[in-house]
Amino acid sequence: QVQLVASGGGLVQAGGSLRLSCAASGRTFSTYAMAWFRQAPGKEREFVAAITRSGVNTYYANYANSVKDRFTISRDGAKNTVYLQMNSLKPEDTAVYYCAVLRSFPSRSDQDVDYWGQGTQVTVSS
C-alpha cells in the first residue's frame, strides 16, 4: 500500500504562492493517479486537482474551476512526490489540503480515493 505525507502548507498573504508536496512510499506509486482535495472549516471536502499516473508519454491534469489557471499539479516519479503549486492565493483557498491516490482519472470524487495523506494547513490572509 501507499503511504502519503503532505507538507508545505503555511500562512501566506493574498496574492502569494505556496507549493505543497506529497511524498509517497511504495514501489507502485507511479501506477496511481494522484489528486489534491481540500476542506475548509465548516465545509465539505472538495476536489482541487488531479494528475494521471506515470508510465505514459504525457501527463494530463484536471482542475476545479475555482483553482484553474492559478494552481498547477505535477509529479516527480523519481522522487515519488506529487506537488501542488498554488499561485495568486485567495482567502477562500484557506483549507486543509489532502493528497490522495485515485483509482481512476479524471475522477473528482473522494469516493474514488484509495489512500489519503494526513493533510497540510494552508491559510491565506487578506
Residues 12-70: tens digit of each pLDDT: 999 999 999 999 887 666 778 999 999 999 999 999 999 998 766 678 999 999 999 99
C-alpha cell at 39: 476542506
DSSP-derived secondary structure letter, 71: E
Cell numbers 485515485 correspond to: 102
The helix (run of H) or strand (run of E) holding residue 43 is none
Task: Name the helix (H) or strand (E) containing 97.
Answer: strand 95-102
Strands 3-7 and 46-51: unpaired
CA 106 to CA 51: how far, in whole Å?
8
Chain segment 6-26, per-residue pLDDT in tens: 999 999 999 999 999 999 887
